[in-house]
Amino acid sequence: MVTWTDISGIKQKIAESSAEEVTASYLEKIGKSCINGFVRTWDRALEVAKAIDAGDQEGPLAGVPIAIKDNISTTGLSTTCSSKILQGYVPPYDAHVIGKLRDAGAVILGKTNMDEFAMGTSTESSYYGATLNPWDTDRVPGGSSGGSAAVVAAGEAPVSLGSDTGGSVRCPAAFCGVVGLKPTYGCISRYGLISYANSLEQIGPLATCVADIAALMDVIAGHDHRDSTSINRENNYSEALKDDVNGLKIGVPEEYFGEGIDEGVEKAVWDAIGKYEDMGASWKKISMPHTKYALASYYIIAMSEASSNLARFDGTRYGFRADGDNWHVMASNTRAEGFGDEVKRRILLGTYALSAGYHDRYYLKALKVRTLVKQDFDRALSEVDVLMGPTMPTPAFKIGEKIDDPLSLYLADVNTVPVNLAGVPSISVPCGFSEGMPVGLQIIGKHFDENTIIRAAYSFEQNTAHHTRRPREVV
Amino acid sequence: MVYENPDGVKIGLEVHVQLNKLKTKLFCGCSTDYHNDEPNTHVCPVCLGLPGSLPVINERAVEFAIRIGLALSCEIVEQTQFHRKNYYYPDLPKGFQTTQYDYPIASKGKVIIEGEDGERVIRITRAHMEEDPGRLQHIGTIEKSKGTLINYNRSGMTLIEIVSEPDMRSPKEARRYLDKLRSILDYLDVFNGDLEGAMRVDANVSVFGGERVEIKNISSFKGAERALLYEIMRQKNHVRRGGEIVMETRHFDEARGVTISMRTKEAEHDYRYFPEPDLVPLRVAERAPEIQKALPELPDARRERFLRQYEMSNMHARALTNEIKVADFYEDVAGKVNPKDAAVWVADILRGELNYRDLGIDAFAAKDIVTIIELVTENRITEQSGVEVIRTILDHGGKPQDIVKDKGLLKVEDDIVAKAVKEAIAENPEAVTDYLGGKEKSLNFVVGKVMQKTKGRADAREVRERLVKDLNDQS
Amino acid sequence: MITKEEVEHVGWLARIRIDETKSDAYAGKLNSVLDYFGQLDKVDTEDVPPTYHVMDIVNVFRKDEVTESMPQDAVLSNTEYRKEGNFKTPKII
């Protein structure tokens, strides 16, 4: 049975056996999984792998299995945002990234579990139940792309796609000890990504190593005329895979080590920064004074946009429909029964924040604060090449620990949300352990300077062994 | 004479114009040519609001909007951004309508109409772009509806909403304004006003400086005039009885010709406008000069030119320039016959006959009216016969020459023959005496003289018969 | 502070039925978050423009060219509530 293999390992296995055998072994492993990372597998995966073996399809990812977050539309494969309200919904079209993956020969294994509509930091709010962290099944895998991170960490897929609105790729990557990238806003087409907060989110890859992140980016990034916010800019990500940080200037925002940071996390991150110094980089402390307001700004913007983005789920055209003798009653019942508690709370708060009398105080104010946060990044990144800090202030917490206290969950996103407000790219790489749980180092770059953070992450990986540690087989 | 406006009537109109001459919808490539097609056959993930779909603006729609704005003498906005207008209704597949809000593409314009007391300027507040919702159809009667059917073919069509200031003082002025607006839009070639739903009107009206009442569901210009007449009467009566007019929305019941209160609480509408994150701003003012240069001659300018160039009456100039097709038709005819004759025949006679039959100018061929005018001016048929030919063509079809022949309308020619016969008899007494004396052949001489006088246009046999008859009558 | 009545009003605006018995509980949870949001009141944003779009791009258009629409079957494939090519819902009056 395959396990913890990167793309080059997969290609070697395909050469030795076949794409079909590789895919079959993953499906077998998924079938025995107890972490609830996949919400459904694709019944045509083997067929696609066979076609690759037959030589019908070539491409940089020919035969490479991949797991897709349940909010990225896949033709013929149900896509539900792990919500009751989208039960039975089968998209009649592919997301842009899915088309790119199919063209590159990737084999879609299935859809991964997530916080309902990507609203969460723990993957506990899924209609399908929580995903478990493969390192410790009493703990959460992080979220909202918890399934996508957990299946990679557990060796149930070599690579996966998630989406990152306020840390939803980087948080679970950190909690599960894998690599996750949130690209620059506009770098990857969002066409087909079911929106939570569209001014903030990007699709992002997760993998066991930085090289695979670059390989996926080379396939999925790039301009798409169907997404008006997609930027037309060519880049080769794999070219950034160089073990060289000589002269790299690192900024360490002191605000990222604020109140409530776990000691083990703090130590692992400082050790990593020390390692960079050894490798020839320099670092300095830097201040980003509006970081403490980023969370409130982020949540107001995200909830406001979400309240509108999720308005289309009214039981009329697809998905779950409740009873009701007129349309408005039907829609209200459908939404009351079809959405989970956290989604409903965010829709209500977002509706409130946009409503007459509160729009300026909440929504508009949050957008102004967003400007200040962005200016912090502009200033800091004019002085240094990259920013580094802990992805998450703590290691993965226990399942159920925070689910009843929304605010405490929101606070966990303190270091990830500023990045989305500013639209800059950020990667989380494993940098050590605390309480036996993985710790993630966050490396933030300038707009469209993915290559610098990829190079920094790759160099770290080449000179450390954190990423080679794997959870023991969970059965 | 100055119009006193005794009841202090103030009418403002909001007109929705569907730009059905665009090939595709506002935000997707679906064809706009749906009017005769099956329901839900002109939709895609975008206009169906499927999860994950994203809008992209139709460039030509923006150009059309600017064209309209310029034709209404508006200022074109420097920069604008589409907003979301959030409300729930089954015809809105996304749960919001994408529309322009604080910065309409065009504003502060004017339309000049023939008012109660001469030329009157109606100020245009704004003209903004938005998307059309789908179409609802109630199963059963409105009162006992068993359900609603939804067809999204119309969803996403480009609308321009043109909002006027309350500058109209009577239903007649409102009607004139609507006619003028349609005339201008016709000239701009941005819409086909004959298609169903191409122009939809909402009105607001107040009397004696009271609160304004909005009237919705007006489906035609005639309906607008009727709805306003009713509503003004209702408000006047209400005030006379000591009542107070409250701000409200009323529904026009076309069949009964009355307006009915919709009893909606205004507080229930809170549209929570915010900028559409999926669309980037439009900075299009710099395109205005070029579009301005390419604007066609508009009705007012063409009317002025007709007055100058063809020396026609003001009334004729107005009648001939309201509809671009009529104006083109006229100029076609005026190029072939005397323009003054053409004005009378096209503006008064032909249009009268067409209006009587509810037909457009398309129903008549320009070359036929040219033939008729020629026949009349050459004195070959009477004016009355000319009208008869027009009626015959409209009611039964046929060519003017054939109709004239079949109906024996060449009365003028008969007169010429009769006159020539009389003259020939008087001028040739010898031949006449010989004939009457029994010399049959002498008649041929007189026939020859008649033929000379009519330049051979007369029929020799007819001339002989007429001579015989006249001479017999004489003796 | 959001009141029970406001929760019900917002629930109506958002078309989410809220049982009267639960609106108090909702108000409690929403208020703890709104309290937290209130810290933005302290930030001086005088003369700070709002950031609606993080990337400074304008004028993204497509040409007025027809692309293929979906077949009616596919359009209606995600619902069992349909009639004669239309979507069907409870009455809207």
pLDDT tens per residue across span A301-335 = 999 999 999 999 999 999 999 999 999 999 999 99
Q: Which domain holds residue B87?
A: 10-291
CA distance B365 to B33: 27
Q: Is residue B5 part of a domain?
A: no
Instruction: Compute the average pLDDT of residues A445-470.
Output: 95
Whole-angstrom distance, CA of residue B417 vs CA of residue B242: 78
Query: What are the tens digits of pLDDT across the range A146-174?
Result: 999 999 999 999 999 999 999 999 999 99
CATH of the domain at B439: 1.10.10.410
Of B230, B260, B291, the one marking the end of a domain is B291
Question: For residue range A199-232, what is the model confidence (pLDDT) as tens digits?
Answer: 999 999 999 999 999 999 999 999 999 999 999 9
Residue spans of chain B under pLDDT 50: none
Together in a domain, B324 and B374: yes
The question of whether A144 is a catalytic residue gets the answer yes
Q: Given the DSSP bridges, would you call strands B82-86 and B274-275 parallel, antiparallel or unpaired?
A: antiparallel
**Predicted confidence (pLDDT) at residue A278 exceeds the cutoff of 60:** yes
Question: Which chain B residues are Cβ-neighbours of C86 within 8 angstroms?
Answer: 39-40, 137, 149-151
Contact C89 B148 (CB under 8 A): yes
The answer to whether A10 and A20 have CB atoms below 8 angstroms apart is no
What is residue B145's predicted lDDT score, i.e. its pLDDT?
Answer: 79
Residue A357's identity, in one-letter code, is: G
Domain membership flag for residue B335: yes
CA atoms within 13 A on the CB side of A399: 19
Residue B52, pLDDT score: 98
- State the pLDDT confidence band at A180, using cuts at 50, 70 and 90: very high
- Band the pLDDT of A259: cuts 50, 70, 90: confident
Same domain for B93 and B158, yes or no, is yes
pLDDT at position B458, please?
Answer: 73
Whether residue B106 is found in the same domain as residue B186 = yes
> Can you give the pLDDT at residue B456?
67
State the pLDDT at residue B416: 78
- Per residue in C17-71, pLDDT (tens digit) is 998 888 888 899 999 999 999 999 999 999 999 999 999 999 999 999 999 999 9
- CATH (residue range C1-41): 1.10.20
Nearest by CB: C30 against A293, A300, A345: A345
Domain identity same for B325 and B416: no
Asked if A372 lies within 8 A of C60 by C-beta distance, the reply is no
Owner of token pair 């080379």: A218
Is the Cβ pair B43, C61 closer than 8 Å? no
- Whether A428 sits among the annotated catalytic residues: the reply is no
Average pLDDT of the segment spanning A394-423: 93
- Residue A65, both tokens: 């299995």
Residue A442 at interface with chain B, using a CB cutoff of 8 Å: no
End-to-end CA distance of chain A: 14
Last residue in a domain, options B386, B406, B426: B406
Percent of chain A with pLDDT over 70: 99
Local structure of residue C44 (DSSP, 8 states): -
CA A103, A105, A111, A115: dihedral to nearest 10 degrees?
Answer: -70
The most distant pair of C-alpha atoms in chain A lies apart, rounded to whole Å, by 70
Is B345 in the same domain as B469? Answer: no
Whether residue B346 is found in the same domain as residue B438: no
- Can you tell me the distance from the alpha carbon of B99 to that of B87, in angstroms, rounded to the nearest whole number? 13
End residue of a domain, out of B389, B406, B423: B406
Q: Out of C14, C37, C54, whose CB is closest to A348? A: C14
Domain tally for chain B? 3
Structural contact between residues A220 and A228, judged by C-beta atoms closer than 8 angstroms: no
Q: Rounded to the nearest 10 degrees, how much is the dihedral formed by the CA atoms of B255, B261, B266, B267?
A: -120
Task: Read off the tokens for B96.
Answer: 């919001």
Cβ-defined contact of C85 to B40 (cutoff 8 Å):
yes
Grade residue A389 by pLDDT with cuts at 50, 70 and 90.
Answer: very high
Nearest Cβ partner for C15 among A300, A328, A406: A328
A448 inside 8 A of chain C by CB: no
In a domain, B85, yes or no: yes
Question: How many Cβ atoms are within 10 Å of A140's Cβ, its own excluded?
Answer: 31
**Pair A149, A172: CB distance under 8 Å:** yes
Q: What is the pLDDT of residues A23-45, one digit of tens each?
A: 999 999 999 999 999 999 999 99
Residue A312 contacts B, CB cutoff 8 Å? yes
Give the pLDDT score at B267.
52
Together in a domain, B328 and B395: yes
| B354 within a domain of the structure (yes/no) | yes
Closest alpha carbon to A133 in A171, A80, A167: A171
Residues B69 and B217 in one domain: yes
A194 → chain B, closest CA residue: B52
Residue B125, domain member (yes or no): yes
Question: Do B31 and B56 reside in the same domain of the chain?
Answer: yes
Q: Is the interface score ipTM higher than 0.85?
A: yes
> Are residues B108 and B200 both part of a single domain?
yes
- Say if the Cβ atoms of A86 and B94 lie within 8 Å: no
Question: Residue A206: what pLDDT?
Answer: 98
Side-chain half-sphere CA neighbours of B161 within 13 A: 16
- Give buried/exposed letters for B320-350 (b at 16+ CB in 10 A, else e): bbbbbebbebbbbbbeebebeebbbbbbebb
Interface of A with B in 173-192 (CB under 8 A): 190-192
* C85 phi/psi in degrees, rounded to 5: 85, -5
pLDDT of residue A135: 97
Going from the N-terminus, what domains does chain A have, and what CATH number goes with each?
1-475 (3.90.1300.10)
State whether B97 and B148 are in the same domain: yes
Average pLDDT, chain B: 92
Beta bridge partners of B164: B124
Does the distance separating the beta carbons of A91 and B51 come in below 8 Å?
A: yes
User: First-to-last CA distance in chain B?
Assistant: 68
Position B130 in a domain: yes
Q: Do the domain assignments include residue B360?
A: yes
Please check whether residue B4 lies inside any domain of the structure: no
Q: Which one of C17, C54, C59, C78 would you mutate to disrupt binding with B, by most B Cβ within 10 Å of its Cβ? A: C59
The yes-or-no verdict on residue A1 having pLDDT over 60 is no
B17 backbone φψ class: left, alpha, beta (φ>0; ψ -120 to 50): beta
The answer to whether A459 is a known catalytic residue is no
Cβ proximity of B60 and B188 under 8 Å: no
3-state SS class at A275: helix
Task: Tell me if A332 and C48 make a contact (CB, 8 A cut-off).
Answer: no
Q: Please, which residues 127-146 of chain B have a Cβ atom closer than 8 Å to chain C?
A: 136-139, 142, 145-146
CA distance B182 to B201: 12
Q: How far apart are the first and last CA of chain C?
A: 34
Do residues B91 and B29 both lie within one domain? Answer: yes
